[in-house]
Amino acid sequence: MTLHYIYHSGFAIETDHVTVIIDYYKDSSSKNPNEGIVHHKLLKKGGEIYVLSSHFHPDHFNRDILSWKAEHPNIHYILSKDILKHRRASKEDGVYINKGEVYEDENIRIEAFGSTDSGISFLINLQGMRLFHAGDLNNWHWDEESTPEEIRKAESDFLAELKYLKQTAPQIDVAMFPVDRRLGKNYMRGAEQFIDAIATGTFVPMHFSEDYEGGNRFKETALKKGCRFISITHRGESFDIY
């Protein structure tokens, strides 16, 4: 099983017969947003493709994904219901799920969990592996800008979602989770709280755009807490995860 970093929060999980593309925003080419590992490789493969989008924000959902069905016959869209609510797609474009709902077929099981922003996060069971993509689930607060009340609420909301996730998934093989330096001095707090609550085999940073240094700074903390850490250095980078 191979994990491909596409861009920002976009990843693909590739096996011999199943490919899962999550939160596609732009392809892996830095010169052309419609060129890279998705268009040049993954959409040209056989097998089943599952395309997941966690919410309607443009850096997590790009309507271009809906055109892919014209070039790949076995493509399935599993989308957050807020994408439909905000009229970014139509009812017939995919299967829409909310927190607590499940999409399952003979290849994959996808369960929706909560977010502290818009939409949902995804717990994916694929070929014996349990993978989590956080979407915009994080302890989102800006210490330099938020009031103490806002900080307390952000923390409380995030910890409540972690508690809910832990009831189903106390252990996760691979977690893709935001590590975004734009939050300010405590930008890694949510990631640390996540791995403290959930036994995480491999931690993968995301939501850092081009700030690879900022995303990879969480490596020291992750290793100290017993996680394998995947350091991402460029778009289109691939990693063996199983």
Q: What is the pLDDT of residues 120-179, one digit of tens each?
A: 999 999 999 999 999 999 998 777 777 888 889 999 999 999 999 999 999 999 999 999
Query: Considering the entire predicted model, what is its pTM?
Result: 0.96
Question: Which domain covers residue 178, as residue numbers?
Answer: 2-240
How far apart CA 206 and CA 176 sit, in angstroms, is 6
Q: What is d(CA 65, CA 25) in angstroms, rounded to the nearest whole number?
A: 9
Number of structural domains in the chain: 1
Task: Give the model's pLDDT for residue 127.
Answer: 96
Give the pair of three-digit tokens for residue 171. Answer: 């252990």
Give me the pLDDT at residue 128, please.
Answer: 95
CATH number (domain holding residue 119): 3.60.15.10
pLDDT given for residue 49 in this prediction: 98
Residue 31 identity: K
pLDDT of 50 > 90? The answer is yes
Average pLDDT over residues 28-44: 94
54 close to 78: Cβ distance less than 8 angstroms? no
Residues 6+ apart with CB under 8 A from 134: 115, 121, 175, 176, 177, 178, 194, 206
User: What pLDDT is attached to residue 124?
Assistant: 98
Helices (H) and strands (E) in the chain, counts: 6, 14
Instruction: Pick the closest to residue 26 from 83, 68, 75, 65 (CA basis).
Output: 65
